[in-house]
Amino acid sequence: MLLLNGALTEYPGLAHGKIGIAVFFFHYAQYTGNELFADYALDLIGEMQNQIHANSSADYEKGIAGIGVGIDYLIRNKHLITEDDIFEDFDQRMVRAVMYDPWQDFSLYDGLTGYGRYWISRLHYQGQSMQAKECLLRIVGLIEENLPDIPVEELKNSFDCKVISVVHFPDQEFGIVNGIVNLKKGFDYVSSLKKSFTFAS
């Protein structure tokens, strides 16, 4: 069924599309020892690349942010060997999303948290780490600026990792970023984000 869905799905993205299905089939190829599944995953990635363009959605669920995180995962786990410049167009789209485009909300799937996950994944690449830091600091600033107006339910649903500071609401106390939340294990923001993101003079 998943083989059929991979070929038929119209979405290129991570949560419900081709790149997410490709991640599964790379793992399944490793599990079964059958490289045909890895070949199928590569075909899905090729189809995904043919679908995306300069104005593709930037969101994490179906768009460039999730695709980039998926590709990064495959590279770091040695399922995919590629040139780093595969991210060049992704980076351009995500810079535009963070710095210039209107953003929908602070959620993971549709908003700034998903953009943050993309840029966290780009911190691994020395050539792009400065650009990633600049975009993350922009996201931090937007969260800080809009924090009083973010609905409580959106905060709870969006920021699902280690908390940084505690904000008091009537009848509730829960953590949220004073910057961006720790979207990958153990990355303490505000305390470590602003220290480690000190730009070299």
Phi and psi at residue 79, to the nearest 5°? -85, -25
Q: Which amino acid is at 84?
A: D
- E strands within 64-188? 165-169, 172-176
The residue whose two tokens read 């020892």 is 33
pLDDT at 127: 73
Distance, in Å, from the CA atom of 61 to the CA atom of 150, rounded to the nearest integer, reads: 20
Q: What is the pLDDT of residues 42-52, one digit of tens each?
A: 999 999 999 99
pLDDT at 165: 30
Question: On the CB side of 68, how many CA atoms lie within 13 Å of its CA?
Answer: 33
The residue whose two tokens read 């961006």 is 180
Please indicate whether residue 162 or residue 91 has the higher confidence score (pLDDT).
Answer: 91
The model's confidence at residue 9, banded by pLDDT at 50, 70 and 90, is: confident
pLDDT at 90: 94
What distance separates the 2 farthest-apart alpha carbons in the chain?
56
Find out whether 83 and 71 touch, Cβ atoms under 8 Å.
no
What count of other Cβ atoms lies within 10 Å of the Cβ of residue 53? Answer: 8
Tell me the C-alpha to C-alpha distance, in Å, between residue 104 and each of 58, 97, 125, 148, 150.
11, 10, 28, 17, 12
The model's confidence at residue 93, banded by pLDDT at 50, 70 and 90, is: very high
Average pLDDT over residues 113-121: 90
Question: For residue 1, what are its two tokens?
Answer: 């069924």
pLDDT at 27 > cutoff 90: yes
Please indicate whether residue 135 or residue 180 has the higher confidence score (pLDDT).
Answer: 135
pLDDT at 200: 38
Distance, in Å, from the CA atom of 179 to the CA atom of 150, rounded to the nearest integer, reads: 14
Please indicate whether residue 113 or residue 41 has the higher confidence score (pLDDT).
Answer: 41
Q: What is the pLDDT of residues 179-192, one digit of tens each?
A: 344 433 333 433 34
